[in-house]
């Protein structure tokens, strides 16, 4: 079995007696010794076994503290420390203050990287300097002016160490031994400050801290160099489950110049070479599809001369089915790559890949290898994400009926967290914090954070509709009762599951039009303490509608019982709250952000029009209402100037692209010429972004368009296929690997879906093999590791993910994580042992619908 999600050293290095430090504690360096680090051409401190980034990524951003900034340590292939920077709390949480990046200077000759930062709200600026020395690395903080009075006793230099890398290990604090706690821990408990906020006490302190002294792979020694400070070791998980171990040194008041200085010594195993990562599909392969392993090697590794594909016999013995020399691909990011093609092997059976001393997991080659890989997504992931429902699976209740008190009108001129905001216009008749009836049904938790993000909802509905229309997907394994707000997994009810999921998403979209008259950005927790809620969504609020006239501390209910299932059918458009609603004085209800933007209206209308085409057999009334609503939205937007208010990613996509979606979906639903005319007019506006949903829409419209349109699409398809060669030159996986703050599995699956539609329309231009390439990437043929990014699918998969159960280091079957995040400048990373990295590990519902479509697309092409 490959050990590829963790890194070990090669047997050659392990045979070398002992291990050395970059700055060995037991010996003093001589003047002739070279610096442990050099600054490479990518502007970070580099050595064979250890790298240190110094603000290669800027702090802050859309989601604030992503734990990908400051001074960071990459030790034996794993990023183990981050956020080496000045912070204002012992263990800051995600939304607590961070210094703003001002400037960064790299002096390779002097071996220094100096970063200037500031807290402008406090009138405070500082510099963090990292310097390569003969004994390792020195990190110091410099002030031109003393600390502002309001930051005295608050500002300190922090560095955070990921807990999963230090569990079950020990530490020394000035020689005093201790063990890193498995569960959140402090020595003297939590303290409450003058503002009523709690802070942890350190569980160790001293002038010198040695982390994991017994582990050559993880040992780090930090010494306080100025002599008047003290290093404190905190457990950030006492404040938040996603907290890290924090080493902190306070900045003294009334001083300038060098105010903090650490000497950092990082263990480096002699001649260490990162273990090869052999990427292949953990699910296996259809006999007819291309089969290629991609081998990721340390830049100091020497490639093996042979790769073997082993066939496994019934008695456990193996025989070589194919062997050959891997082909050199070249360099990508920080690694070198080889490829090994075994497409010619098509005999059904079980196989393993062997490279050097490694033998991988067994995988099948079989015609039905993709037949069931989508089922966990439909059977588990989508039901578990269903908001406003009680979701049961056998003996387990995944969550109760959540957010039955939705929703309060969010205020104007206000910037919220998670990219929600209002300008001066609410675009409703509701007063701020007035309850809006009729929003407490339908919809999925957008991600691990429970909100109803409208853009995610309509992307998902539209994707599921396309999957049904293209592939059928007739499966009944789940009971969904909208009247009772009840879902039961693994209990058939005689209805097609995917249609019931489309209905659930459609109900959330239509609810906005019923209650408000237009699409809205979404519904989100009103208070920051509620936003990172972990566990059962029904415990996030009291599920009783807020009434300002009531005592917030009283256990009062105005009407009914919140645990009694509603007898009102939301699919008929009836209001649940007057019949079975309950009220309380607790101001814990979610907020609805209600901007009436044109892009959101078009996106919502597109999904409603699509849903209308498939819901007739399940819910004819909802299907009819959805189409009628979509038509009204089209006419409404045609009669006004577009409202282009934008904030974050909650107010809709690009206007012309959302417009195109509405035009095509309405064209497919009605076959009316006016929508075909709109598609023709929109083509010049969207053709510069000829990929993703634009391609799906443009191809879907083909049967209703003229020959000139088809010819132009064909030309665009040729240009698109030519452009794929640039992707193939960029990386050995041949798919678009993004470099943003959110990893790229959505783009990879979108690439496969785009190629499916273009292959369907122009098979002579875009080959079907490109579709399989995307799916194989999801299943393990990707950088950094080789496990499947579809949880619970494949021999080895991501089973500690950022879902609602992330605090338990668990997963939701069938969820697809974002995947490999490329950290600037060159580190591909997916932390399989730390689910709290949302940019790498957070499930989002559009990924589920893309995965359902892509798996069926691949199977359909193979069946041909």
CATH number at residue 325: 2.60.40.10
Closest-CA residue to 335 (of 569, 807, 7): 7
Residue whose C-alpha is closest to residue 226's, from 263, 256, 261: 261
Examine the fold and report which residue of 653, 681, 712 is the final residue of a domain before the chain moves on. Answer: 653
Give yes or no: residues 257 and 284 share one domain. Answer: no
Q: Where is average pLDDT lowest: 26-40, 556-570, 593-607?
A: 556-570
DSSP state of 381: I
Give domain status of residue 771, yes or no: no
**Least confident stretch, 8-17, 379-388, 697-706:** 8-17
Residue 20: CB atoms within 10 Å? 16
Q: Is the pLDDT of residue 850 over 60?
A: yes
For residue 556 the two structure tokens come to 């009062």
Confidence of residue 23 (pLDDT cuts 50, 70, 90): very low
Residues 623 and 642 in one domain: yes
Residue 679 lies in a domain: no
317 belongs to a structural domain = yes
What is the spatial distance between Cα 632 and Cα 472, in angstroms, rounded to a whole number? 29
The reply to whether 810 falls in a domain is: no
Helix, coil or strand: residue 112:
strand
Confidence of residue 63 (pLDDT cuts 50, 70, 90): confident
Answer yes or no: are the C-beta atoms of 780 and 733 closer than 8 Å.
Answer: no
**pLDDT tens, residue by residue, 416-455:** 999 999 999 999 999 999 999 999 999 999 999 999 999 9
The band of 317, judged by pLDDT with boundaries at 50, 70 and 90, is very high
User: Does some domain include residue 719?
Assistant: no
- What span, in angstroms and rounded, lies between the C-alpha atoms of 577 and 408? 13
Element (H, E) at 103: strand 100-107
Whole-number Cα distances in Å, 674 to 308, 611, 662, 663: 59, 20, 12, 9
Does residue 59 sit in the same domain as residue 124? yes
Determine whether 597 is exposed, middle or buried from the number of CB atoms within 10 Å of its CB (0-12, 13-18, 19+). Answer: buried
Tell me how long the chain is: 864
Question: Minimal CA–CA distance to 370: which of 819, 758, 736, 774?
Answer: 774
Name the band, by pLDDT with cuts 50, 70 and 90, for residue 33. Answer: very low
122, 42: one domain: yes
**Residues 109-118: what's their mean pLDDT?**
97
pTM for the model stands at 0.93
Statement to judge: residues 252 and 303 lie in one domain: no
Q: Same domain for 583 and 617?
A: yes
Q: What is the dihedral of CA 489, 492, 496, 502, to 10 degrees?
A: -30
- Which of 405, 417, 427, 413 has the alpha carbon at shortest distance from 453? 417
Give CA–CA dist 684/705, Å, rounded.
15
Please report whether residue 826 resides in a domain: no
Structural domain total, the chain:
3
- Secondary structure element (H or E) that encloses residue 223, with its range: strand 220-224
- Which residue, of 268, 298, 314, is where some domain finishes? 268
Residue 616 lies in domain: 403-474+494-653
Q: How far is CA 497 from the centre of its chain?
A: 26
Residue after which a domain boundary falls, among 625, 653, 681: 653
79 and 125 within one domain: yes
Give the CA dihedral 224, 235, 827, 128, nearest 10 degrees. Answer: -40
CATH code of 134's domain: 2.70.98
Looking at the fold, whether 235 and 284 belong to one and the same domain comes out as no
Tell whether 417 and 338 lie within a shared domain.
Answer: no
Q: What is the number of helices (H) and of strands (E) in the chain?
A: 16, 44
pLDDT, mean of residues 821-846: 97
Judging by DSSP bridges, how do beta strands 208-211 and 220-224 pair with one another?
Answer: antiparallel
Centre a 10 Å sphere on the Cβ of residue 529 and count the other Cβ atoms it contains.
9
314 & 407 share domain: no
Residue 576 pLDDT more than 60? no
Beta strands in 231-357 (DSSP E): 231-235, 245-250, 257-268, 277-279, 292-297, 307-312, 318-324, 327-332, 335-341, 349-355
> Distance between CA atoms of 501 and 619, rounded to whole angstroms?
12
Q: Based on the domain organization, do 185 and 223 belong to the same domain?
A: yes
* Residues 235, 306 share a domain: no
Q: Give the integer Cα–Cα distance in Å for 579 and 587.
A: 22
* pLDDT tens-digit series, residues 214-232: 999 999 999 999 989 999 9
Residue 785 domain-assigned?
A: no
17 versus 544: the higher-pLDDT residue is: 544
The SS3 of residue 470 is helix
Task: Tell me if 157 is assigned to some domain.
Answer: yes
CA distances from 667 to 240, 654, 659, 714 (A): 49, 20, 12, 21
pLDDT in tens, 241-299: 999 999 999 999 999 999 999 999 999 999 999 999 999 999 999 999 999 999 999 99
Asked if 718 contacts 765 with a C-beta cutoff of 8 angstroms, the reply is: yes
Q: What is the mean pLDDT of the chain?
A: 92
The answer to whether 615 touches 504, Cβ cutoff 8 Å, is no
Instruction: Give residue-wise pLDDT tens across range 159-212.
Output: 999 999 999 999 999 999 999 999 998 888 888 877 778 889 999 999 999 999
pLDDT at 344 (0 to 100): 97
Mean pLDDT of all residues in 55-59:
96
């Amino acid at each position: 079995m490959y050990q590829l999600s963790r890194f070990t050293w090669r047997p050659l290095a392990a045979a070398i007696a002992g291990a050395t430090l970059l700055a060995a504690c037991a010996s003093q360096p001589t003047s002739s010794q070279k610096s442990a680090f050099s600054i490479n051409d990518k502007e970070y401190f580099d050595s064979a076994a250890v790298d240190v980034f110094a603000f290669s990524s800027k702090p802050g951003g859309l989601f604030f503290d992503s734990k990908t900034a400051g001074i960071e340590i990459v030790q034996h292939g794993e990023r183990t420390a981050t956020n080496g920077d000045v912070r204002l709390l012992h263990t800051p949480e995600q939304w607590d203050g961070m210094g703003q990046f001002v400037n960064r200077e790299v002096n390779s000759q002097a071996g220094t990287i100096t970063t200037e930062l500031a807290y402008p709200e406090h009138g405070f600026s500082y510099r963090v300097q990292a310097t390569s020395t003969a004994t390792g690395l020195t990190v110091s903080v410099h002030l031109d002016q003393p600390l502002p009075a309001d930051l005295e006793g608050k500002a300190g230099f922090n560095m955070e160490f990921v807990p999963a890398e230090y569990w079950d290990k020990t530490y020394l604090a000035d020689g005093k031994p201790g063990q890193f706690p498995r569960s959140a821990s402090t020595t003297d408990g939590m303290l409450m400050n003058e503002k009523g906020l709690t802070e942890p006490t350190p569980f160790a302190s001293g002038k010198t801290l040695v982390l994991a002294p017994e582990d050559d792979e993880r040992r780090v020694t930090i010494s306080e160099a100025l002599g008047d400070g003290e290093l404190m070791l905190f457990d950030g998980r006492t404040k938040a489950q996603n907290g890290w171990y924090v080493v902190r040194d306070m900045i003294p008041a009334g001083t300038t110049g060098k105010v903090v200085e650490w000497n950092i010594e990082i263990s480096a195993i002699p001649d260490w070479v990162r273990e090869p990562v052999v990427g292949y599909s953990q699910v296996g392969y259809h006999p007819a599809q291309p089969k290629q392993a991609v081998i990721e090697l340390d830049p100091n590794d020497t490639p093996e001369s042979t790769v073997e594909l082993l066939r496994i016999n019934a008695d456990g013995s193996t025989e070589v089915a194919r062997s050959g020399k891997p082909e050199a691909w070249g360099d990508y990011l920080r690694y070198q790559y080889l490829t090994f093609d075994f497409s010619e092997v098509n005999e059904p059976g079980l196989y393993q890949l062997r490279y050097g001393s490694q033998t991988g997991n067994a995988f099948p080659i079989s015609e039905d290898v993709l037949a069931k890989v989508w089922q966990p997504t439909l059977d588990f992931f989508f039901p578990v994400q269903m908001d406003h429902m009680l979701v049961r699976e056998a003996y387990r209740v995944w969550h109760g009926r959540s957010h039955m008190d939705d929703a309060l009108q969010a205020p104007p001129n206000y910037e919220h967290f998670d990219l929600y905001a209002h300008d001066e216009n609410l675009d409703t008749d509701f007063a701020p914090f007035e309850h809006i009836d009729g929003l407490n049904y339908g919809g999925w938790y957008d991600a691990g954070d429970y909100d109803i993000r409208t853009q995610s909802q309509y992307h998902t509905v539209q994707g599921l509709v396309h999957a049904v229309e293209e592939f059928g997907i007739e499966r009944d394994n789940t009971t969904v009762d909208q009247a009772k707000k009840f879902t039961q997994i693994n209990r058939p009810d005689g209805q097609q599951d995917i249609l019931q999921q489309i209905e659930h998403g459609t109900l959330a979209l239509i609810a906005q039009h019923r209650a408000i008259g237009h699409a809205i950005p979404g519904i989100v927790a009103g208070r920051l303490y509620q936003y990172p809620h972990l566990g059962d969504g029904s415990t996030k609020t009291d599920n009783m509608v807020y009434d300002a006239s009531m005592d917030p501390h009283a256990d009062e209910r105005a009407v009914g019982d919140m645990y009694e299932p509603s007898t009102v059918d939301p699919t008929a458009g009836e209001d649940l709250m007057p019949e079975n609603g309950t009220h309380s004085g607790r101001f814990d209800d979610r907020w609805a952000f209600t901007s009436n933007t044109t892009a959101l209206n078009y996106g919502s209308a597109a999904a409603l029009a699509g849903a209308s085409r498939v819901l007739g057999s399940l819910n004819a009334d909802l299907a009819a209402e959805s189409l009628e609503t979509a038509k009204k939205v089209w006419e409404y937007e045609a009669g006004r100037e577009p409202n282009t208010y934008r904030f974050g990613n909650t107010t809709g996509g690009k206007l012309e692209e959302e417009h195109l979606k509405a035009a095509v979906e309405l064209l497919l639903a009605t076959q009316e010429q006016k929508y075909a005319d709109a598609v023709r007019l929109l083509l010049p506006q969207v053709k510069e972004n000829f990929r993703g949903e634009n391609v799906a829409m443009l191809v879907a419209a083909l049967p209703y368009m003229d020959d000139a349109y088809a010819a132009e699409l064909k030309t665009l398809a040729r240009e698109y296929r030519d452009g794929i060669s640039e992707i193939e030159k960029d990386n050995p996986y041949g798919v678009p690997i993004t470099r943003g703050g959110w990893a790229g599995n959505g783009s990879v699956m979108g690439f496969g879906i785009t190629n499916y539609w273009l292959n369907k329309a122009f098979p002579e231009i875009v080959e079907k093999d490109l579709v399989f390439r995307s799916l194989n990437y999801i299943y393990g043929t990707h950088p950094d590791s080789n496990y499947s990014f579809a949880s619970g699918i494949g021999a080895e998969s991501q089973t500690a993910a950022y879902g609602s159960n992330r605090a338990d280091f668990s997963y939701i079957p069938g969820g697809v994580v974002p995947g490999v995040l490329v950290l600037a400048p060159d580190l591909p990373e997916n932390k399989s042992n730390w689910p709290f990295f949302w940019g790498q590990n957070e499930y989002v519902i559009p990924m589920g619908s893309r995965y359902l479509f892509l798996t069926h697309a691949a199977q359909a092409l193979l069946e041909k």
